[in-house]
A and B are shown apart, each in its own frame.
Chain A
C-alpha cells in the first residue's frame, strides 16, 4: 500500500445548534456510532478512542467515560486538549498509533452542548478562564477580548478596515446556505456584521463564533479497515504543528501567526504548495482569523487576506473555496468539535459526495485549526487518489462523483 498505511475511513456528525435534551456524552455516542457505521465497523471493534473533555460536564477521565457510556472496551484511550486545535492534534496522534500497528483503527471524537448545557452567559464567563491567572485574568479578559488584541494589531499593521475583514463571515454564510447541516444559513452582509453588537473592539457579534451543541467523530483505519471502507479512503498527506506561546501576553508579534510554521511543516511533509490545494478550511472562530490564516498558509501575501475573501475567490464557485460547510462562524461552534467538523467536510468533499456544494475535481484539501489565543496551530493536508485507490472497494459505481 506504499506510504499510506492508514487513512480516514469514517465520518460521523450530529446535528448542530440548540439541541434540547442533549448531553455531551449522548452527542459523543451519536457521533462515534455514526462514524463507525460510516466506516463499516461495529462499535465494539473500536480499538482506540481519543476524546477531549466537555466544558459543560467534565469528567476526570474522559475517553474512558465515553467508552463506558458506549459499552465498549477499546484497547487504548486518550483524552487530549490543546484548545480549538485539539482535534487535529488528536487526529495526528491517532494516525501514528494506527500506522505503528498499535491498533487497527482509532476513533477521534469531540462533542459538547455549550448552547443548551451552559447557555450564552455561562459560556462567555467560562471563556475568561483562558487568561493567565496572574498576568491576564485580573483585567476583565475573555476569549473575544484577547483575540481582539490580535484583530486590532492586524488591522493596524496592514491598514485594513473592519469592513474588509467582515467579508469572511459573509463568505462563510454563502457556503452555509448550501450546507443542510449548518446552524446559520440566512444571508448575511458586511453591513449586517458591522451593525451587530460590539463585543470587544474591533470585533462585532456576527464575526465572533456562535455557541452551539454538536458532535463529530472520525475513524482512522489501518489496511484492513481501508479494505472494508465503503467510501474513498482519505489520506493524510502532511501535518504540521506549532506552539509559539500559550498566553497572548507572552506572544511575539501577533501577526503573522504560528500558522506560517505549522503550514510550512505540513506542506513540506506532503511535498505540496498552496497552489496544489483545491479547498481550504480555516478555523475562523473570529472572522479576521480566516484572512490571517489564508495569508499565513501562503494563499495570498501578507495583509491581502481580506481582499482575497472580498473578491469572491473563496466563495461558492470561486477558484479557492474556503469553509464549504460555513466555517466556525456559520456551521457551528461547540468548542473542540469545530476542527473535526472542518475535517469531516473536507472528507465529504474529497469523497465527491457534496452534491450542490461539491467543489468540482477536489483531490487535495487543507484544514487549519488553532487553539488558545493564537497559541497552538495545526495544519493538515488531506488527499485522495495517491497511494490508495481513488475508489474504495465498495464504492465502485459510487455516489456524487466529482467532475
Chain B
C-alpha cells in the first residue's frame, strides 16, 4: 500500500514474486512459453498467446530501446515533487517485452524514441528494488 506523503510501494504477490526476486538480484525476470516462445511479464502460470502452462523464467539481458516516453513536469503527488522533471518511458526489451519504467542518468530533454537503454536497479525499500533504465 502507499505511505501518505511517501512513494507508492508495490506489494509483491504470487503473480509478481519472480519479478521482484529477480529485481533484488539485479535482473529483469520475464516468462517465456516453452510451447510457442511468447514472452510476457505475467501471469506466471499461463501463456497469454497460446494458453500453455509450459512457462519458464527468462532473465532479460537488460537491453532495449525507448518505444515512447514523457517528461513529467507536474508532480502527481507530493512524493514525486523533488524528482520533477523526470522521465516515464515504455522500454522495448530485446526479448520482445515492453516495460514501463523511469529513464535516469541523462538530462530529461535528451531522451528520444529509439534511444538504446540498459536496465539498472533502484532500491525503494529493504524488500523492493525497481528496474530503471539508463542510456546504453
Q: Does B24 contact A (CB under 8 A)?
A: no
What is the CB-to-nearest-CB distance from A123 to chain B, in angstroms, rounded to a whole number? 11
Q: Does B117 contact A (CB under 8 A)?
A: no
Number of B interface residues in the complex (CB < 8 A): 37
Of B9, B41, B74, B76, which contacts A128 at CB under 8 A? B76
Interface string of B9-44 (1 = CB under 8 A from A): 111100110010000000000000000000001100
Cα distance, A148 to B85, chains bound together (Å): 14
Within 8 A of B (CB), among A74-117: none
Known contacts A139-B130, A153-B113; A125 and B76 CB within 8 A of each other: yes
Q: Please give, as numbers and ranges, the residues of chain B lying within 8 Å of A134 by CB-CB distance.
A: 10, 12, 15-16, 19, 42
Q: Please give, as numbers and ranges, the residues of chain A lying within 8 Å of B67 by CB-CB distance.
A: 153
Asked if A141 contacts B73 (CB within 8 A), the reply is no
Q: Please give, as numbers and ranges, the residues of chain B lying within 8 Å of A254 by CB-CB distance.
A: 68
Within 8 A of B (CB), among A124-158: 124-125, 127-128, 131-142, 144-146, 148-153, 156
Cα distance, A149 to B16, chains bound together (Å): 24
Cα distance, A140 to B73, chains bound together (Å): 11
Known contacts A137-B10, A153-B113; A201 and B70 CB within 8 A of each other: yes
Of A150, A152, A248, which contacts B113 at CB under 8 A? A152
Q: Please give, as numbers and ranges, the residues of chain A lying within 8 Å of B60 by CB-CB distance.
A: none
Asked if A140 contacts B72 (CB within 8 A), the reply is yes
The 4 A-B pairs of least Cβ separation, nearest first, read A148-B70, A142-B76, A249-B100, A201-B71
A sample of 27 inter-chain contacts (CB < 8 A) reads: A124-B76, A125-B76, A127-B76, A131-B100, A134-B42, A138-B130, A139-B101, A139-B102, A139-B130, A140-B75, A140-B102, A141-B100, A145-B70, A145-B72, A148-B88, A149-B70, A152-B113, A153-B68, A198-B71, A198-B74, A199-B72, A200-B70, A200-B88, A201-B70, A201-B71, A201-B73, A202-B70
Contact surface of A with B, Cβ cutoff 8 Å: 124-125, 127-128, 131-142, 144-146, 148-153, 156, 197-203, 248-251, 254
